[in-house]
Structure 1
């Protein structure tokens, strides 16, 4: 390289390092107005982009999604740039007064600083515009924020025996040696309520990172149980083979460094946990399993530590009754209300159902009448507490306001145990069977069903379905009572898993078998009274 070229290169670098920065500083002063105007124009473009992103954010929140941290940060930086640009615009107005003042010389320093700030903010603004093209602003939020139990602290504190059992289970959950436990008791004694309270407690104490719960029921669909657990764990099981499905769930339960509590509600017989994909016998120390069941033998056969739940003592039964019926100890109704509560024999389900049914009665005469009816219906021939449950629920059924409400409740019992019952399906069945008078079209039927569903919910004979919108659920014990009622007199329902039976007097048949072989399907000539067939 020639000496001349080397000299030119050195001079060029000197110019680049020294002269250019100096010229840039003069440009801040000379073009300060255009810099501020350009910034103002770009801010308007940025604001339009911000509106678009905010709209995407609202849509994501409406879809219960969590907004990504990068989006939150971008929106914050946009606000900071907008505030700074607003400050520059205000300062520009002041600079105009100073620069155009006839008496005073222009404030060159203010003009220079404005031009410099505007130029630098323009660079930050252009960067924000480039970063604001989000394909997706949110992600599905993790589940588990909503509590399992609906009971209030004041109600729980009054049930000392339940609090004691809850404490025992909580202590067992903290023991490393205990991996499988079961809460056992008769139907309606409050096993599900108790295990939901335990689920909320372990979440509150952060004893487990994740809690997942599935209903098994009398005729379990193991794939459905897997899907219930997987959905709460944000796991998608797409495989069809039983073993591979089980392995997928097994991997999720054991493949993370997380403490997981699995709750299987309403076990009727021994369940092969391994075929479900749930580790057993301490294979995974960070995993615990709680069962609820009416059969302690089935749970013992599975190797579970048993915690029995019995009916409530007299004082606790009264506490629960008065909380539900909203009666105080010094109320004029407290005397007869205590006697009514005693007739429920400490069974929580019976207490809640009867208390809710009588909640709207405000006169001693109506309560006295209800007490006489309850005592009369007992017939003095009970074989056990299970019979009492049936009689208490049957009593509530008999005291529904209308025959239409009774028909609708019995219709719900034709659906599979623990299943979601779509209200629209009830509407169409009611209309097709012509169960209601003065109903001319589906709209009238829908209005009537909505009113009756509310009535049945208010008496706790129907439950809200937390999983499916516009659906209800029937407690399994209430369903058993309804089927018992429906098997008599003019109804004669059959709900079967294995076949249609031999009687030809059924008015409704519901086949809930998973077997696709329906060689025994009834025909009208064999069942002349049949009006409804559900498959």
Structure 2
């Protein structure tokens, strides 16, 4: 009998201990509910950040014809699944954390969700520790395009052309989209504006390359590769680079390749641009026949010149406030710029802050109809306006400008290199070093 009583007492004591432990744990989950959910969110943020870095590394490896290990792929899949599970758990925690119209806490739900939150937090922490060593300390960033100028003004002609381009980009049947217009009418500025809008809306991943009158496939490939995070290491020939580019574009992404200032026929396959459903091309040129020759989708988009009123408004933006007796001369100067934005901006900036005598001299210079030597037909007016703005620079500025002109067309000129050459050529004569 005594043995039986002893057994009963031991069982009762064990039951009390178990119930006490369970109760203490339940209380912990209930009262620490908010802290557990907060820790869950923070650990999820870390996992998402690491997951995105792993995704970038996988994309880069795929573009460079490398295959990730099965272990990395498995853990990457686990990360995505765990992130989705945590999202659902957070929604449940928010929806059922209280009852009675929010007056009382829902203790049962808090206990159950709090327990799961703690378990998921530990699982994410372990996965973070496993994925983190697989990441490089640093990685090459995709080269960002230069953002469009903040002083870009959307006149009716540019707005119409921009809207036409965006509509074509949204049309699945439009793959090759062409923009044409006179030199100096603002095609490059418009393309930069479109690129920025496309990136902000996340419609496409963009690549931008300037082609010019003598297309260099090597340079075009390098510009495109830099924008999509691709590196050329062993590929020395244009054909090998094209093959690597074609492989990089075969991802599950939508690309827009923007080619500016095209003067002659381009072979997209030779460059490495797989024009198709996941890769569209937006091209600008001065010559409409280029678009027909390259079989661009009709109709081509035309960027017209400014109206007289828009030209006058643009001139006032860059020249500043214009009062009598400047206004009449200013209007005649604007007329001589022939509604070309590049010419209006150059002349207006040059004249800003100068006296009436300088404005009248500018008008006489711009009205000089003697045709300059070796200037392509149709470019005389922009040339005349740009030449005037350059002639008004001081001696040092002109020397620096001419020094830049010696560099290849559309090349990026490092300031440090430019300054070294300038000192070597004794352009800065008034600067001395002890």
Give the aligned partner of residue 378 of structure 1: 367
Give the aligned partner of residue 477 of structure 1: none
Deviations 1:331-363 (A, max 9, x none): 8754443232222111111111112222334xx
- TM-score, normalised to structure 1's length? 0.53
Q: Does 1:405 align with 2:415?
A: no
Deviation at 1:198, TM superposition (A): 2.3
Structure 2: 5+ residue runs without aligned partners? 1-5, 23-42, 54-75, 84-117
Change (3 A) 1:161 1:15: farther
Checking the alignment, whether the CA contact within 8 Å between 1:181 and 1:290 is kept in structure 2 is yes
Larger radius of gyration: 1
Tell me how many residue pairs correspond in the alignment: 347
Q: Does 1:316 align with 2:315?
A: no
SS of the aligned residue for 1:178 comes to coil
Deviation at 1:399, TM superposition (A): 0.8
Deviation at 1:27, TM superposition (A): 9.4
Change (3 A) 1:319 1:243: same
CA RMSD of superposed structures (Å): 4.8
SS of the aligned residue for 2:306 comes to coil
Deviations 1:399-418 (A, max 9, x none): 11x21111111111111111
Deviations 1:279-302 (A, max 9, x none): 34xxx2233211112333333221
**Distance in 2 between the 1:403 and 1:17 partners?**
102
SS of the aligned residue for 2:274 comes to coil
Checking the alignment, whether the CA contact within 8 Å between 2:143 and 2:229 is kept in structure 1 is no
Checking the alignment, whether the CA contact within 8 Å between 1:325 and 1:356 is kept in structure 2 is yes
Checking the alignment, whether the CA contact within 8 Å between 2:198 and 2:204 is kept in structure 1 is no
Match of 2:422 among 423, 430, 455: 430
Deviations 1:374-411 (A, max 9, x none): 323532334865112111111111111x2111111111
Match of 2:345 among 352, 364, 367: 352
Q: Does 1:252 align with 2:248?
A: yes
Checking the alignment, whether the CA contact within 8 Å between 1:260 and 1:288 is kept in structure 2 is yes
- Which aligned pairs between 1:189-200 and structure 2 lie closer than 5 A? 189-200=185-196
Change (3 A) 1:19 1:410: farther
**Distance in 2 between the 1:392 and 1:349 partners?**
9
Checking the alignment, whether the CA contact within 8 Å between 1:189 and 1:348 is kept in structure 2 is yes
Structure 1: 5+ residue runs without aligned partners? 1-10, 29-49, 61-67, 74-121, 445-535
Give the aligned partner of residue 466 of structure 1: none
- Which aligned pairs between 1:75-154 and structure 2 lie closer than 5 A? 134-135=132-133, 148-151=147-150
Match of 2:284 among 285, 288, 292: 292
Give the aligned partner of residue 229 of structure 1: 224
Match of 2:319 among 318, 325, 333: 325
Change (3 A) 1:142 1:16: farther
- The structure whose RCO (Cα within 8 Å, separation 6+) is larger is 2
Checking the alignment, whether the CA contact within 8 Å between 1:314 and 1:346 is kept in structure 2 is yes
Give the aligned partner of residue 416 of structure 1: 408
**Distance in 2 between the 1:372 and 1:293 partners?**
34
Change (3 A) 1:230 1:123: closer
Change (3 A) 1:171 1:17: farther
Give the aligned partner of residue 169 of structure 1: 165
Q: Does 1:264 align with 2:259?
A: yes
**Distance in 1 between the 2:415 and 2:9 partners?**
82
**Distance in 2 between the 1:27 and 1:175 partners?**
64
Deviation at 1:257, TM superposition (A): 3.5
Deviation at 1:140, TM superposition (A): 6.6
**Distance in 2 between the 1:137 and 1:214 partners?**
29
Match of 1:339 among 332, 337, 351: 332
Deviation at 1:205, TM superposition (A): 5.0
Change (3 A) 1:146 1:23: farther
Deviation at 1:314, TM superposition (A): 0.9
Once the two structures are overlaid, the 10-residue window that deviates more, 131-140 or 225-234, is 131-140
SS of the aligned residue for 2:270 comes to helix
Deviation at 1:124, TM superposition (A): 11
**Distance in 2 between the 1:183 and 1:123 partners?**
57
- TM-score, normalised to structure 2's length? 0.65
Deviations 1:2-61 (A, max 9, x none): xxxxxxxxx99x999976675578899xxxxxxxxxxxxxxxxxxxxx9xx9xx99xx9x
**Distance in 1 between the 2:194 and 2:144 partners?**
15
Give the aligned partner of residue 97 of structure 2: none
**Distance in 1 between the 2:166 and 2:390 partners?**
37
